[in-house]
Structure 1
Amino acid sequence: MKKSYQIISGILALSMFCTAFTGCSGNDLQTDSFVPTERPVEILTSETAQEEEENAMNKPEMKPVAETSLPETEHISPTETVTSVLGTQIDVDAVLNRDSVEDSGKNYSMPLSRFIEDGDLVTSFTFIFYSADGKSSIGTYKGGCGISVTQDCPSATNKGWYQSDDFSVQADGAYVEVTWNVPAEIQNFIPKSGTVQIGYWWGDTTEVRLQNVICNYSRKAEIPVDNTENIAVGQNLNYSSDSTNTISIPLADVLGNDGTPQAVTFEIASESALGKFTGAFGMNGNEWYMSDTVAVFTDASNLSLTWIIPEEVKNTLSESPELLFSYWWGKPENIVLQSVTIKYSTGRVFYTLEQEQEPSEPLDEEALKADREKASALVANIKVGWNLGNSLDSYDKRSGTDEDYETLWGNAKTTQTLIDTIKKKGFNAVRIPVSWTNHLDENGNVDGLWMERVQEVVDYAMHDELYVILNMHHDDFTWLTPTKDAETEVTEKYVKVWSQIAEQFQDYDEHLLFEGLNEPRVIGSPNEWTGGTAEERTVINHLLQKFVDTVRSSGGYNPNRTLVITTHAASISDSALDGLRLPNDGNVVLSIHNYAPYKLTTDEFPDVRSFDDAGKYELKQEFDKLYEKFVSRGIPVIIGEFGAEDKDNATVRSAYYAYYVSQAKERNIPCFVWDNGAKDSYGLLDRNSCTWYYGNIADAVINAVNS
C-alpha cells in the first residue's frame, strides 16, 4: 500500500517514513489483527479533485479564468521516454514449514500488484529468510519459485504459470538471501494481476521465516517534458537518526506556477560500496505521498535512482511542492545526495467550469463534522448486510409486466418470508438493487405499479427492522453514461428519477438509506473497471452532488437521511479513490465493491480454488487503504458488494468470507454479501424454498461479525 501522511505544518514527523465484477455484472504481515490509528478528522471538500475536474471537463469548451479575448490554446509538451530501474521491498514476516502436508504451509505467494504496473519488465526477486527461531542454522536452502504468466506465454510450464527448476542456496547461519533471476523468455509475459511464489523444500531447520521480498524491475514511460532542471544538493544523510535520514527539497522555484514534475533522478554517493540501498521517495500533494520501500543491490559506491512520478501525486500537487528523499539502510552509515534532476512539463492552466446552477452553499466545518459523525454512527449500527441481487435489478430491452422483470433472471418473487430468513440468520441490513430503466416513460416518469412493488419489498425489510439501502442499479449499464457529451441529458433524467424516489420514501426513518449510483462507468471502455478517465470521474462527481442536492431539497426525513455515494465503477483502484470528489454534505457513506482476490472470486479462473496468504495480504492492504483514506478521517465506508463464485470449494469459501468480513470489521467497515440467487454462482440462499444453499458460508459471515 502506498503510504500517505496528512500534511501538518511543515514536514510531518519524518520518523513515520521509516516505519518500514463484478457484483451484478458481473508492511507488514506479522499479524492478522489491525490496530486503528487515531487521527484528527480532516475536513475534505470538493476542492480535493478540483484540478482533475478543471483539466478534464473543459475540452474543447475551455475558457480562461481571466476575462480576456485571447485565443483559446492548449499547450502540448514534447515527450521523452524515461526508464526507471528499481527494486521494491515489501515486508512479509511469514513462516514456511518444509514438513507441512499442505502446499500453503511450505509455499508463500504474493500479488504482483504490490510491486509492479502492467508493462514493467520483472528481472529478479530476492527473498530474505531467517530461521524461525532466529538462531538455528538453515544450512542449505532448497526450494523453487513460480510466477504467473499470460496465456500466450510460449515458455509457460503450465497454463498461465511458470515454475522454476528447484535450486539450492547456502545459508549464512540463520540467514539466507535467495535470489531468483527471472528467465528472459518470460519477462515480457508477467501480468500485474498475477502472483509470485517461493517454496521451501528442505533445509537443516524445519521452519524458516520469510522477512522481506524484493522485486527488481525496469519501467518505461513516455512523459511530457518541457524542461529539465538539475539541482545541486550535496547533503549528507545518515540512516541511524530520524532527523538525518531524510531530506526535503523545495520545488516551487523550479516548477513555477504551472510546472508539473514528471520524473526525478537522484544521484547518490558514498565512500564505500553501498551493498544494499534501502530508502524511499516522497512528495506533498493534498497529503504527503511516500513510495513503497526502494531496495537496490549494488557493489558500487555511486547510484542513480529514477522515480517516475505517479499520476495520483501529479493530480494533487501542492501549491508549494516539496520533494523527499529518505535513506533507511545500507552498508555505509552515511551517504551523500549529490544532486537531483527534475524533468517537468509546463502549461498547467486552470480553467473555470460553466455551471447551469450555482454550486451548493458550503457547510461550515463544525456542521460537516457533525454530519459525518452522524453517518459514522449509523454505519456502526450495521453489522453485516445481504444483497437482493438479480431480482428488482433485472432488466431487458423489451416491454413486460413488473412481475416479469422481478423474475426475469430466474429468481422467485421476493416475499416477507425470504426477508425473515435473512434476519433470522443474523443479517441486520439488506441492500435492494433496483433497475428503473424499463419502468420509465419518455419523460422519465416512473411507472406507478413498479414504484409500489419496490416500496412493498422495502416494507418487508422495514417490518423486520433492518437497515435498507435502496439504489439505482443497472441504469448505469443502459442509459446513465458518465461522459461530458451525455452529461446534460443524463443529469436531467437522473434528477427526475431521484426526485420521484425521494418523494415516495420521504417519510421513512433513518433505517432507509438511498444509494445514488451503483457502478457508474462507460461500458466497454479500456478503463471500465480500473478507474476510468478524468472526464468520467468528474461527471460522476457532478451526478453525486446532484443526487445529494435532489434528496436534501425534498420533504419528510430526506434532509436528514444518510446517503450512499461511490467511486467510478465502485472501484477500489487508486485512480478511482483519488478521483472522488466528496459532495458538499457530511451525512454520506462511501460504498466500494471489492471482489478480491479476483482469480478466486470469479469463475473466469475455474482452477483457482484456494484462498492463500497472497489473497489475505491483498485484502488487508486494500482495507488498510480504505481506512487510511477515509475511515480514519471520519468518512464512513461500506463494502456494498463482495463474494466468491462457487467452484465446488464451499469450505474454502467459508474461510474466505469469514476472513474478509473480520478484516473489514477491524477497520469499522461493514460488508454486504452479494447474492444473485444462483447456487453455482454467488447465490447463498434458495429463494424458492427460503432455505440456504450454503448455510455454512452464511454462518461463517455471522460468526465473524459477532466474534
Structure 2
Amino acid sequence: MNLGTGWNLGNTLDAHNADTFENEPSNTETSWGQPATTREMIKGLANSGIKTIRLPVSWTPHINANYEINGQWMARVKTIVDWCIEEGLYVILNIHHDNYINDNMVYAFQGFYPTEKGKAMSLKYIEAVWTQIAMAFNKKKYDKIIFETLNEPRLRGHEHEWNMDPKCEKCQEAARIINELNQKALDTIRSSGGINADRMVMVPAYVASPYAAWDSSFKFPVDPAGKGKIALSVHMYTPYNFAMNCGDGSYNNFSTQTKEELDNHFNSLKSNFIDRGYPVIIGEYGATNKGNKADRLAWFEYYLKESASRGITSILWDNGTENNHENPAESFGFFNRETCQWFDQDIRNVIMEAAEEGARKHANSN
C-alpha cells in the first residue's frame, strides 16, 4: 500500500459546537470558518500530487440517544469520500473530536473518556459508532479507505492531557483503557466482515504521541487479519517549539539540533514498529507560519525526506488558515480551498519532491 503524500481536511467535518450534541448537520461543516468541501477541492489536491486524504470526522454532534448517526451526516461524509475515491485517492477516516470533556458522562452517546469510571460507556460508544461506519463503507469500491480507531485519546482537562507521564497512575490507567478501546474498535470493524475483515486500521497510543507509543503501557490490539493490517497512528509536530509553539521557548530557525530531534523520532519509530512489521503513519504534521519561510521550507524538506526514507507516511495538517493573527500557533493553512491551489507553491513543491526522494531511498534500501 503506497499512500504517497497526504493531506488533512482539517477544521471541517471535525468541527463541532463546543460540547453540545445537536443532531442537525447542515451548518456543522462550515461552522469553524472553512468553506463547504467541493469536488473541485478534491480534484485540485489530487492534481497537485496528493495521494491520501485524511478526513477527520466528529460524530458526537450527530448521534441521537439511540446511538444512531444522523443519516444526512453520514451521506455527506460518504459524498466526500466518494469524490476522493473517484480521484484515485486513499482515504483515512476516523472519529475525531469524540473524546468527552471528563468521565462524568450521563449517556454513552456523548463520546468516550479513557478512565475506569468512563470505560463502560466509552466501549458502548466506540462499538456503536464503528458498527455504523464499518457498515456504511463495507463495499469493494471502498477498499482504499483506512479506518483510524481514535484521534488523540487523552484525559481532557488533566494536567497531563497533552503529555503522558509514565509515572502518573491516571496516565497509566488511561493508556490501558485506550488499549481496550482500540481493541473494541478493531473487533467491531473486523466482525462486520466483507472488505473490513482485512482492511488496514490505524491505532494510536495516548494522545497519538510517539512517546506514549514507545512506553510499555501501549499494546497493539490482537488482530485476526495479521500484523501487517494494523498501523501505528502518531502525530508529530516536532520539534514542538519550532513547529507549533509561539510562546515561551519557541524559536523560528531550522538547525542541526532540529535535525537531530527529528532523526531520533524517526529512528525510534522505525526500530520499535516498522522493523517489527507494523506500518507507521504520521496522521498529522506541519509547521505553523511564523513568517520564517526559508526555515519552514528546510524543515519540510528534511521532515519528508527522512520520514519517507524510513518507510513512514506523513499526512499534512491543514486547518485552512494561512495567517492566524489572533492565534499564530494555528497558522496551518496550506491549500486554498477557494481557488483550489496551494497558498505557497514553494511549500507544495518541497513537500512533494522531498517525499518522492525519501521514498526512492527507501525502495532502494529494500
Contact 1:571 1:577 in 2 (8 A): no
Equivalent residue, structure 1, for 2:80? 457
What amino acid sits opposite 2:148 in the alignment? Answer: E
What amino acid sits opposite 1:408 in the alignment? Answer: S
Equivalent residue, structure 2, for 1:705? 355
Contact 2:53 2:92 in 1 (8 A): yes
Which one has the largest radius of gyration?
1
Equivalent residue, structure 2, for 1:490? 122
After the TM superposition, list the runs of 4 or more consecutive aligned residues in structure 1 that deviate by more than 3 angstroms.
397-401, 574-577
Distance 1:385 1:577, change over 3 A: farther
What do the CA deviations read for 1:443-465 (whole angstroms, capped 9, x no partner)?
21100000000000101110111
Aligned residues: 328
Contact 1:419 1:461 in 2 (8 A): yes
- 1:625 pairs with one of 244, 268, 291: 268
Once the two structures are TM-superposed, the CA of residue 481 in structure 1 deviates from its matched residue by 0.8
Contact 2:4 2:313 in 1 (8 A): yes
Equivalent residue, structure 2, for 1:538? 176
Once the two structures are TM-superposed, the CA of residue 574 in structure 1 deviates from its matched residue by 5.1
Give the 5 Å matches for 1:392-403. Answer: 392-396=13-17, 397-398=19-20, 399=22, 401-403=24-26
Give the 5 Å matches for 1:445-594. Answer: 445-478=68-101, 479-507=111-139, 508-531=141-164, 533-573=171-211, 577-585=215-223, 586=227, 587-594=229-236
Paired with 1:689 and 1:601, the residues of 2 have a C-alpha distance of: 26
Once the two structures are TM-superposed, the CA of residue 556 in structure 1 deviates from its matched residue by 2.5
Give the 5 Å matches for 1:26-425. Answer: 378=1, 381-396=2-17, 397-398=19-20, 399=22, 401-425=24-48
Contact 2:204 2:232 in 1 (8 A): yes
Paired with 1:392 and 1:576, the residues of 2 have a C-alpha distance of: 30
Once the two structures are TM-superposed, the CA of residue 658 in structure 1 deviates from its matched residue by 1.4
Q: Pairwise CA RMSD of aligned residues? A: 1.5
SS at structure 1 position matched to 2:321: coil
Paired with 2:206 and 2:40, the residues of 1 have a C-alpha distance of: 35
Equivalent residue, structure 2, for 1:695? 345
Structure with greater helix share of residues: 2
Equivalent residue, structure 1, for 2:253? 610
Distance 1:574 1:441, change over 3 A: closer
Once the two structures are TM-superposed, the CA of residue 605 in structure 1 deviates from its matched residue by 3.2
Contact 1:658 1:704 in 2 (8 A): yes
Distance 1:437 1:668, change over 3 A: same
Once the two structures are TM-superposed, the CA of residue 526 in structure 1 deviates from its matched residue by 2.0
SS at structure 2 position matched to 1:611: coil
Once the two structures are TM-superposed, the CA of residue 572 in structure 1 deviates from its matched residue by 1.1
Indicate yes or no: 2:266 matched with 1:634. Answer: no
Paired with 1:575 and 1:528, the residues of 2 have a C-alpha distance of: 15
Equivalent residue, structure 2, for 1:299? none
Contact 2:206 2:212 in 1 (8 A): no
What amino acid sits opposite 1:411 in the alignment? Answer: Q
Once the two structures are TM-superposed, the CA of residue 604 in structure 1 deviates from its matched residue by 2.6
Contact 2:85 2:142 in 1 (8 A): no
Contact 1:684 1:695 in 2 (8 A): no
- 1:671 pairs with one of 301, 314, 323: 314
Paired with 1:400 and 1:513, the residues of 2 have a C-alpha distance of: 26
Once the two structures are TM-superposed, the CA of residue 428 in structure 1 deviates from its matched residue by 0.5
Paired with 1:666 and 1:579, the residues of 2 have a C-alpha distance of: 28
Paired with 1:400 and 1:520, the residues of 2 have a C-alpha distance of: 23
Equivalent residue, structure 1, for 2:303? 660
What amino acid sits opposite 1:531 in the alignment? Answer: M
What amino acid sits opposite 1:694 in the alignment? Answer: D
Paired with 1:575 and 1:502, the residues of 2 have a C-alpha distance of: 26
Contact 2:24 2:62 in 1 (8 A): no
Paired with 2:213 and 2:5, the residues of 1 have a C-alpha distance of: 28
SS at structure 2 position matched to 1:476: coil
Equivalent residue, structure 1, for 2:360? none
- 1:438 pairs with one of 51, 57, 61: 61
Paired with 2:31 and 2:295, the residues of 1 have a C-alpha distance of: 31
Paired with 1:409 and 1:574, the residues of 2 have a C-alpha distance of: 30
What do the CA deviations read for 1:334-379 (whole angstroms, capped 9, x no partner)?
xxxxxxxxxxxxxxxxxxxxxxxxxxxxxxxxxxxxxxxxxxxx2x
Equivalent residue, structure 2, for 1:316? none
SS at structure 2 position matched to 1:623: helix
Paired with 2:215 and 2:318, the residues of 1 have a C-alpha distance of: 25
Contact 1:571 1:592 in 2 (8 A): yes
What amino acid sits opposite 2:209 in the alignment? Answer: S
Once the two structures are TM-superposed, the CA of residue 563 in structure 1 deviates from its matched residue by 0.7
Contact 2:205 2:212 in 1 (8 A): no
SS at structure 1 position matched to 2:297: helix
Paired with 1:431 and 1:574, the residues of 2 have a C-alpha distance of: 22
SS at structure 2 position matched to 1:627: helix
What amino acid sits opposite 2:27 in the alignment? Answer: D
> TM-score w.r.t. structure 2 length?
0.86
Paired with 1:643 and 1:403, the residues of 2 have a C-alpha distance of: 30
Q: Mean alpha-carbon deviation: is it higher for 578-587 or for 396-405?
A: 396-405
Distance 1:575 1:392, change over 3 A: closer
Once the two structures are TM-superposed, the CA of residue 553 in structure 1 deviates from its matched residue by 0.6
Paired with 1:692 and 1:576, the residues of 2 have a C-alpha distance of: 35
Once the two structures are TM-superposed, the CA of residue 619 in structure 1 deviates from its matched residue by 0.3
Equivalent residue, structure 2, for 1:347? none
SS at structure 2 position matched to 1:565: strand
Paired with 2:123 and 2:212, the residues of 1 have a C-alpha distance of: 26
Paired with 1:663 and 1:477, the residues of 2 have a C-alpha distance of: 36
User: Percent identity at matched positions?
Assistant: 37
What amino acid sits opposite 1:516 in the alignment? Answer: T
What amino acid sits opposite 1:428 in the alignment? Answer: K
Once the two structures are TM-superposed, the CA of residue 603 in structure 1 deviates from its matched residue by 4.3
> TM-score w.r.t. structure 1 length?
0.45
Structure with greater strand share of residues: 1
SS at structure 2 position matched to 1:651: helix
Paired with 2:283 and 2:217, the residues of 1 have a C-alpha distance of: 19
What do the CA deviations read for 1:212-270 (whole angstroms, capped 9, x no partner)?
xxxxxxxxxxxxxxxxxxxxxxxxxxxxxxxxxxxxxxxxxxxxxxxxxxxxxxxxxxx
What amino acid sits opposite 1:591 in the alignment? Answer: S
What do the CA deviations read for 1:552-603 (whole angstroms, capped 9, x no partner)?
1103311121111111000011575432111111211111101111111114
